[in-house]
Amino acid sequence: MKILKTKFKGLLIFKSKNFTDKRGYFREIAHQKKINEKLIFTVVSKSKKNVLRGLHMQTKFMQGKYVSVVKGEILDVAVDCRKNSKTYGEHFKIKLSQKNSKSIYIPPGFLHGFLGKKKENIIVYSCTNYRNKNSEISVSWKDKDLAINWEIRKPILSNKDAKNSIPFNKLKI
């Protein structure tokens, strides 16, 4: 497994390999010792093409997230919300897929979201903290200050993401 650093402190890309044969494939996804964080909570998300989930984070009990795609492809986006960071307010985008075998570790203090690019997308992510729905916030996927090119004009959104998002410039952490 190869680890690639980014300009965002603590945000890492992991390049693995699919070992494929006539039965299917096998891939190592995460090595905790290489992340240097304890991943205590793992979830699976399934999304159709053009489903956009995010941008989300928790203001208390912040989570680091290790994100991998086991089927399909997503456009994964992380926004740095760490006030003292050199990259505060900047975003990072990457395509993660079953085919490219890439995973990403997003440290605590980032908004996170993704867009499903294939007919069926199955995402596994492990977190450094448990979900706390009372501290969840959502910033609009089309926030003008963030200027993220999601490669789509009309994504499929949850009611929560469509109605309850706050502007990035009003974010209080």
With contact defined as beta carbons under 8 Å apart, do 6 and 13 qualify? yes
The Cα 104–Cα 90 span in angstroms is 17
Check 66, 105, 112, 125 and give the catalytic one. 125
The Cα 123–Cα 44 span in angstroms is 6
Check 25, 56, 91, 112 and give the catalytic one. 56
The Cα 79–Cα 87 span in angstroms is 9
The label of the residue with tokens 């989930």 reads: 53
Three-state secondary structure call for residue 128: coil
Catalytic residue status for 125: yes
Q: Which amino acid does the sequence have at 148? A: I
Three-state secondary structure call for residue 157: coil
Q: Which residues participate in catalysis according to the annotation?
A: 56, 125
